[in-house]
Every structure is written in structure tokens, then in C-alpha cells.
Amino acid sequence: MRIFHKTSFDFIRFRKIAYGFSLVLLASGLISLAVKGLNYGIDFRGGSEVLIRFEKNIDVSTVRTVLDAAGVSGSLKQYGLDRSFLFSTVFNGETNDLKSLVSHALNDRLKGNHHEIVRIDAVGPSIASDLKWSAVKALIASLLAILIYVGFRFELKFATAGVVAIFHDILTVLGLFSILGGLFDFMPLEMDQSIIAAFLTIAGYSITDTVVVYDRIRERIRGQKPADYERIFNESMNQTLSRTIITSGTVLLSVLVLFIFAGPAIRGFAFAVFIGILIGTYSSIFVAAPLVFDWLRLSKSPVHLRGSKVS
């Protein structure tokens, strides 16, 4: 079976449209980030969360009224879709009090519907700021590492364009989290540690497709005149199009499985990785390689690529 066999798309000609599309994507994400902001999970916000599961179906507003009446202040929302609710409140060291308060209130007033507290998470403010910093550090360090590695393996222009593409991918996902945050009951799309893991996965993987395209360009560009660059870029992208899409496809397949089967705790992560890989595949063709092309065109100097084989 073959998909995208012997294609001849003129990617370079359409790059301006792609730039425009990416800019719109990024701008809408950034506007939403500025206006609406992000939903932070307790990892970064600090606080306590209690996951309550009922035996029978029950309305979220009923539970909310009961907890309000008992004087337990906090917010309650549906968690996943299976009679589970997530109650979140401020952090204090007394999880015992919180737990007994919640379960007494529910036992007293919802006698017919047995409930179970299946999970408790409590994160103090110092831990939350700790987690936030390590997330930022991990992101910066991984982008730097990738920049250095690709710069070492190819050339600085290629590496920079690759890292720009990663930024593009992560910012798009971040923007999407801001736009869609809190809209769906089955996935809260909160920023927490798992989303940082998703970003690092995206960063590590986004460059994969880019490297495949770069590799082909490197293989073919040696000794060629700058006038032929457009043709070489286009041909290289067409030749690698099939593998770019199939490699992303297999990963998308397994992430989709995670999204469907792994439960609400993993859903936000799976969503982020899915979108990130989709965008990453797009950006390796429409952002990374065209940026290198434009850069080479404007600088007018021939490339000195490392590691290209003479064959």
C-alpha cells in the first residue's frame, strides 16, 4: 500500500499562505492567552482536590448544593463522564478535616446514593512554585539542547528554523488550551505537570519530522547552485512526504488510543500531544524548511552543511 506516492506539490510557492495561516493560529492563541489566560491545575496553582465517585447517577448541581449547604467552600465540576466529580478548594495541611467534612455532608444529605472518595491531591504553595520553576527550566533546557544538537548536526540556520517550528507547535497547543480550556466536561484542559510532559514530548518529536526533511535536503543540496534551491527543497519535501506522514500517523494512532481508553487523568495530555504532533508535521513542511529556504535566499551565501555524505 502506498499513500502520497510520487507527489509533486509546490510547497515553496505556497509558503506565504502557510506563514499567514501560522501567524493567524499563533495570534489567536496569544490573544486568548492574554485575555482569557490558562486554567492552571493544582500542580501549579496549589490547592486541594477531592475526587468523589457516586454509585448512582447524580446531577452536579445537586452535589454542589449539598456541599454549599454544609459550608464547604470550593468549586465542584464533573470529572470525566462516569458519575465522578472533582471538588477543588484551597490548600491547608488538614486533609483529614477536608475529607471528613465532604464525606459527612454527602452521607448526611445524599443517603440513598453511596459515594466514595477515590483520590485526594493536595499541593502546598511552596511545592506549586517549585513545580512551576522546574517545568520552565525543563522546557528551556530541552529547547536549548535541541538547538545545539541540530546546530551541530546540520547548520545554525537549519537549527534555528527547527526550534522556531517547535516554538510554533508548542505555542499553538498552548493557545488552543487557552481557547478550549473549561469548555469540555470530558477533558478539563488544565495546565499541569502532564501538559509540560506533553510539551517536551512535542518538542522532542516535532524535530523528528523536520530532521527527516532536512536530511534529504542536505543529501541533495551539496554542490548545487542557489538558483536550484527552490527545486531541491520542493523535491526533497515531496520525496519525504510519505514517511513524514506515516511516522506521524503511527504516533497519532497510539495517542488517539490513549485519548480514548486511558481515562480522564491522561486525556489532557493525550489531547496536547495529538494536536502537537499534527501541528508539528504541518510545521516541518510549511514552517521549518521554508524558513531555511527564505533565510538562504536572503543571505545569498551558499550553505556549508555538516555531515553530508558524498555519494
Partner 1 sequence: MLSMKNKRFNLLLIAAVTLVAAWSLWPTWRDYSLSQQLNSLRSAPDSLRFSLSNRDEIENARKKSLKLGLDLKGGMHLVMEVDQVDLFEQKAWNKDAKFIAIMKNVRAKASQSDARVLDILYGEFKNENMRLSRYFYDIRNSDQEIVKKLEKESEDALNRAKEIIRNRIDQYGVAEPVITTQGSRKLIIELPGVSDENRVRNLLKGTAKLEFRLLRDPEILVRTLDRLNTYIVQNSTALQSTSDSNAASSVSSQLKAPVPAKPASSRSLYDDIRVYQNGTAYTTEHSRDYVVSLIRRSDIQALLPQDTELLLSAKSDLINNEKHFTLYLVKKTPELTGGVITEAKATFGSQGVQPEVLMAMNSEGTSKWARITGANIGKRIAIVLDGAVYSAPVVQSKIPSGNSVINGIESLEEAKDLEIVLKAGALPAPVRIIEERSVGPSLGADYIRAGVLSLAWAFCAVSVFMLVYYKKAGIAADIALVLNIVIVLSVLAGFNASLSLPGIAGIVLTIGMAVDANVLIYERIREELDGGKVLKSAIEVGYDRAFSSIFDSHVTTLSAAFLLYTYGIGPIQGFALTLMIGTAASLFTSIVVTKEIFSFLLVRNLMTQKSFG
- Residue 116's DSSP bridge partners are 53
**Member of 88, 95, 113, 160 binding partner 1 (CB under 8 A):** 95
- Residue 235's DSSP bridge partners are none
**Member of 63, 67, 86, 146 binding partner 1 (CB under 8 A):** 146
Based on the shown chain and the rule CB under 8 A, indicate whether residue 278 belongs to the binding site for partner 1.
Answer: no
Helices 193-221 and 289-299 cross at an angle (nearest 10°) of 50
Q: Please identify, among the stretches 54-62, 223-231, 268-276, 288-296, the one whose residues bind partner 1 according to the rule CB under 8 A.
A: 268-276
Interface with partner 1 (CB under 8 A), residue total 85
Is residue 257 within 8 A of residue 267, CB to CB? The reply is no
**Residue 162 or 290 having the CB closest to partner 1:** 162
Q: Pairing mode, if any, of strands 75-78 and 115-123? A: unpaired
Cell for 46? 496549589
Is residue 147 within 8 A of residue 163, CB to CB? The reply is yes
**Member of 26, 110, 252, 278 binding partner 1 (CB under 8 A):** 252
Phi, psi of 123 (to 5 degrees): -125, 120
**Residue 1 or 35 having the CB closest to partner 1:** 1
Q: Pairing mode, if any, of strands 47-54 and 84-89? A: antiparallel
Q: Which of 202, 127, 189, 162 is nearest to 291 (CA)?
A: 162
Based on the shown chain and the rule CB under 8 A, indicate whether residue 269 belongs to the binding site for partner 1.
Answer: yes
**Member of 110, 212, 278, 305 binding partner 1 (CB under 8 A):** 212
Based on the shown chain and the rule CB under 8 A, indicate whether residue 249 belongs to the binding site for partner 1.
Answer: yes
**Member of 40, 149, 167, 295 binding partner 1 (CB under 8 A):** 149
Based on the shown chain and the rule CB under 8 A, indicate whether residue 71 belongs to the binding site for partner 1.
Answer: yes
Cell for 121? 491531591
**Member of 72, 170, 275, 291 binding partner 1 (CB under 8 A):** 72
Q: For residues 33-62, which are near partner 1 according to CB under 8 A?
A: 51, 53
Binding mask 159-198 for partner 1 (x = CB under 8 A): ----------------------------------xx-xx-
Based on the shown chain and the rule CB under 8 A, indicate whether residue 116 belongs to the binding site for partner 1.
Answer: yes
Q: Which of 130, 282, 140, 142 is nearest to 201 (CA)?
A: 142
